[in-house]
């Protein structure tokens, strides 16, 4: 049976990238590697649309989140954390683990944060050193308005640190224009790579904060990474094979062009949403991201059985809900190496799974709706 | 030109492992992944010859070193650190970054630590909470006598933490029998994988210490890893493709059998050492490891040019010296996916490079000496 992955990370890795990573491995302390890493670093600046350094870590995305906290702050510092999903909560957990005082802005799951809440919090607690938030919250399918948040935070001494793990290379994102000080990303999402690499772009303002940061750090040290970066090297042995793949995946993105990559994801999200609605299903996110579509499982349908059916009978892997949403939603990713026909496949598999479980709807309504959106000139949503 | 890697990590990845990792990626929050990780965890216990948990991290080996420090200690704790090379020094750097007081046992580069020095230090400073040392010091080519050190440390409340990054799956190593509390390893050495995974075995005594440790931790948390391990999962997205490769490489090791793997490395080390001596060259290490052979570059020969010649003219990559040894030695790894003919190739390339640079010796003396050792019944050293 053909296997297809529609999970929000890891996402499908293009065949050309898989084959590149299967070439004989090279040694990292070599001119050949430094040349490769130099090209990667150029590509990362394009991907991040930034003039700032982009640092690379061998870790999950969570590692780069921890790196941001430990390089920017000192014990007892106060940090605003937007908690509107599992990944926003992770910022708070990391801060607390390091003795950073969390000033939460709590947001109901499924909703975007209201930028004015951040403005109000910054005004009432001027000591806040950093604002930690999430661009695309993968647990809720919500996109936050980082552009507006950036306008607010830049009027304040606080740093703006954004988890762009799922939005980089998928969603319109302009870290420099939006005044993001540190954007953290991972390899297994829009970059179409296996997990194992994480990234952090670091602004001048963030470098200045890093100089006075007193939290302990070694592996995550921004300054160690920067020192090595000057020689196109890494402080510790990097995940060489993933970096070889990264060079290729950055080339794929550059060839398509970021604007087109963003537009494709938007079109695919619109088609998926239209399909879901046409089938009589409900979306979970009120401010849906273009990265994944979260569908509420209708009354009377066993969510876990639905995912299992779609997976084992049709070879299509989607993700279930996390934390409070476990068993209640299906998360369909349209991230990375995805074309129009993949979207139809995902919708078709969802239709068949729901039919098998006895949900009443017009079979084919989903794929037809998706097909209409996908073939519209501008991909307008129905 | 055929390219061949004799560097002490990354080491050559077997073709079967490369192809396994090039298969379509799977999602980690799935029964399929948990089944894979369960098999890996069994294989890791065999590799580590331990009944203890072996935790897996997505990072370089340095990450697991940092994990050992932050999970076992508290600020102000005193730790004995054996500094006999770059990697011993790294233990000290990590301790210092976290406010742990370093009680150094300094060893001249090229020599093994004298276990009695550790005994004396533990006796004079009974507050020492942990002993950090290195099994095979890759910067000096030295093997330390961890078995004897284990006998000493077990009579003391201190924990024994050993960097086995290059010795796991290459050198005789029995963490449980030798009373190692935490052994940290990496993927890109004897495991014949690309870099990106790190491991830590954790003894009961170490778990007890972890409970009272007050150093901050999140990504490196042993307890978070253990909690996930119970469900054959990881706390954060693991490097899935490397883990798929790990399952295969563990199978390769289990098929050969650890005893035979160790004997092969020993035989290859003996052959390489015999070759080097036959060519009139000198070894750097007084207590040489079986993992890599470090050769002093003879007077009048430009070390960097020698490595460059061997690399560009013959496609053979060896490593130079680190820190104070830069330009002064050649490091030839015989680690991992290496057979007898690879050893002859390495020696032959070294011979040709030296000849090109005008070193006077009997051409063929190295390969002949290696060939003799490799074909002896018991691989005795000449």
Question: A73 at the B interface (CB within 8 A)?
Answer: no
- Note whether A5 contacts B19, CB cutoff 8 Å: no
Which token pair is B299? Answer: 């007077």
Which token pair is A213? Answer: 């940061």
Does residue A186 form part of some domain? Answer: yes
Does residue A5 form part of some domain? Answer: no
| Chain B (229-268) residues lying within 8 Å, Cβ to Cβ, of chain A | 236-242
How far is the alpha carbon of B151 from chain A, nearest alpha carbon, in Å? 31
Answer yes or no: do B274 and B172 share one domain: no
CB A70 within 8 A of CB A218: no
Which token pair is B360? Answer: 């006077």
> Domain boundary residue among A236, A255, A274?
A255
Answer yes or no: do B130 and B112 share one domain: yes
User: What average pLDDT does the segment A168-190 reach?
Assistant: 97
The pLDDT, as a whole number, for residue B370 is 97
Q: Going by DSSP bridges, is the β-strand pair A78-83/A101-106 parallel, antiparallel, or unpaired?
A: parallel
Answer yes or no: do A292 and A236 share one domain: no
User: What average pLDDT does the segment A51-75 reach?
Assistant: 98
Which token pair is B39? Answer: 């098999």
Residue A117: pLDDT band by 50, 70, 90 thresholds?
very high
Evaluate the CA torsion angle B164, B166, B169, B173 in order and state its sign. Answer: negative
What would the pLDDT profile of B192-229 be if each residue is shown by its tens digit? 999 999 999 999 999 999 999 999 999 999 999 999 99
* Range of the structural domain that residue B273 is part of: 257-375
User: What average pLDDT does the segment A315-343 reach?
Assistant: 95
The pLDDT, as a whole number, for residue B377 is 64
Question: B332 at the A interface (CB within 8 A)?
Answer: no
Report the domain count for chain A: 2
Q: Examine the pLDDT at A380 and tell me if it is beyond 80.
A: no
Answer yes or no: do A331 and A277 share one domain: yes
| Chain A (136-165) residues lying within 8 Å, Cβ to Cβ, of chain B | none
Q: Nearest chain B Cα to A187, which residue?
A: B239
CB B304 within 8 A of CB B357: no
What would the pLDDT profile of A191-213 be if each residue is shown by its tens digit? 999 999 999 999 999 999 999 99
The pLDDT, as a whole number, for residue B378 is 55
From the list B27, B216, B311, which residue is nearest A10 (CB)?
Answer: B27
Does residue B3 form part of some domain? Answer: no
Query: A5 in helix, strand or coil?
Result: strand
ipTM surpassing 0.90, yes or no? yes
Please give the Cα distance from B58 to A206 (Å, whole number). 26
What letter does residue B52 receive in the DSSP assignment? S
CB B274 within 8 A of CB B370: yes
How far is the alpha carbon of A320 from chain B, nearest alpha carbon, in Å? 9
The pLDDT, as a whole number, for residue B376 is 86
Answer yes or no: do B57 and B186 share one domain: yes
Answer yes or no: do B249 and B268 share one domain: no
Backbone angles phi, psi at B105, to 5 degrees: -115, 105
Does residue A8 form part of some domain? Answer: no
CB B317 within 8 A of CB B12: no
Cα torsion through A87, A88, A92, A95, rounded to 10: 80
From the list A10, A186, A219, which residue is nearest B25 (CB)?
Answer: A10
Give the domain CATH number at B308. 3.90.1150.10
Q: Match 């992944």 to its residue by tokens.
A: B33
Element (H, E) at B88: helix B86-97
Please give the Cα distance from A56 to A244 (Å, whole number). 13
Q: Which regions of chain B are under pLDDT 50?
A: 379, 381-382
Does residue A1 form part of some domain? Answer: no
Backbone angles phi, psi at B326, to 5 degrees: -55, 130
The pLDDT, as a whole number, for residue B379 is 47
The pLDDT, as a whole number, for residue A376 is 86
Answer yes or no: do A165 and A198 share one domain: yes
Q: Which residues contact A99 (CB under 8 A, 6 or more apart)?
A: A75, A76, B216
Question: B216 at the A interface (CB within 8 A)?
Answer: yes
- Note whether A60 contacts B238, CB cutoff 8 Å: yes
> Domain boundary residue among B226, B255, B284?
B255
The pLDDT, as a whole number, for residue B381 is 46
- Note whether B9 contacts A237, CB cutoff 8 Å: yes
CB B248 within 8 A of CB B19: no
What would the pLDDT profile of A30-43 be if each residue is shown by its tens digit? 999 999 999 999 99
Give start and end residues of each alpha helix (H) in chain A. 15-21, 31-47, 61-72, 86-97, 115-124, 146-153, 204-212, 222-229, 240-256, 258-278, 303-314, 340-356, 365-375
Give the domain CATH number at A187. 3.40.640.10
Does residue B58 form part of some domain? Answer: yes
pTM across the whole model? 0.96
The pLDDT, as a whole number, for residue A136 is 97
Please give the Cα distance from A337 to A111 (Å, whole number). 27
Answer yes or no: do A34 and A137 share one domain: yes
Per the DSSP assignment, residues forming a β-bridge with B160 are: B131
Does residue A382 form part of some domain? Answer: no
What would the pLDDT profile of A83-103 be if each residue is shown by its tens digit? 999 999 999 999 999 999 999
Does residue A10 form part of some domain? Answer: no
Q: Examine the pLDDT at A379 and tell me if it is beyond 80.
A: no
Question: B309 at the A interface (CB within 8 A)?
Answer: no
User: What average pLDDT does the segment A291-304 reach?
Assistant: 96
Query: A379 in helix, strand or coil?
Result: coil
Answer yes or no: do A105 and A214 share one domain: yes
> Domain boundary residue among A212, A228, A255?
A255
Question: B191 at the A interface (CB within 8 A)?
Answer: no
Answer yes or no: do B171 and B152 share one domain: yes
Answer yes or no: do B299 and B201 share one domain: no
- Note whether A10 contacts B29, CB cutoff 8 Å: no
Answer yes or no: do B21 and B155 share one domain: yes
In order of A349, B181, B322, B349, B364, the CA distances from B342 in angstroms are 50, 35, 24, 10, 16
When scoring B5, B66, B194, B312 by the number of chain A Cβ atoms within 10 A, the one with the most, hence best to mutate, is: B194
């Amino acid at each position: 049976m053909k296997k297809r992955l529609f999970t929000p990370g890891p996402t499908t890795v293009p065949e050309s990238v898989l084959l590149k990573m299967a070439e004989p491995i090279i040694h990292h302390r070599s001119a050949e590697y430094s040349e490769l890493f130099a090209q990667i670093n150029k590509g990362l600046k394009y991907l991040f649309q930034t003039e700032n350094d982009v640092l690379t870590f061998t870790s999950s995305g969570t590692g780069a989140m921890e790196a941001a906290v430990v390089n920017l702050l000192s014990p007892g510092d106060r940090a605003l954390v937007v908690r509107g999903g599992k990944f926003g909560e992770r910022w708070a957990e990391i801060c607390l683990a390091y003795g950073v005082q969390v000033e939460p802005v709590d947001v109901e799951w499924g909703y975007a944060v209201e930028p004015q809440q951040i403005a109000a919090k910054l005004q009432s607690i001027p000591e806040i050193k950093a604002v930690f938030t999430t661009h695309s919250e993968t647990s809720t399918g919500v996109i936050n308005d980082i552009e507006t948040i950036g306008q607010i935070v830049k009027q304040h001494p606080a740093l703006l640190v954004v988890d762009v793990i799922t939005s980089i290379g998928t969603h319109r994102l302009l870290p420099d224009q939006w005044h993001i000080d540190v954007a953290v990303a991972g390899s297994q999402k829009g970059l179409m790579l296996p997990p194992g690499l994480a990234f952090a772009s670091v602004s001048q303002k963030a470098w200045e904060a890093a100089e006075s940061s007193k939290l302990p750090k070694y592996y995550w040290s921004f300054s160690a990474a920067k020192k090595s970066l000057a020689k196109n090297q890494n402080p510790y042995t990097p995940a060489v094979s993933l970096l070889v793949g990264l060079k290729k995946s950055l080339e794929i993105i550059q060839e398509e062009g970021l604007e087109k990559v963003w537009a494709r994801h938007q079109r695919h999200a619109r088609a998926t949403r239209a399909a879901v609605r046409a089938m009589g299903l409900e979306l979970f996110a009120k401010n849906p991201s273009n990265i994944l579509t979260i569908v509420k499982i209708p009354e009377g349908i066993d969510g876990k059985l639905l995912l299992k059916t779609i997976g084992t009978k049709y070879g299509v892997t989607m993700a279930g809900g996390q934390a409070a949403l476990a068993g209640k939603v299906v998360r369909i990713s349209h991230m990375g190496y995805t074309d129009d026909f993949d979207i139809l496949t995902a919708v078709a598999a969802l239709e068949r799974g729901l039919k098998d479980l006895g949900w009443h709807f017009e079979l084919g309504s989903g794929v037809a709706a998706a097909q209409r959106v996908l073939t519209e000139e501008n991909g307008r949503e129905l």
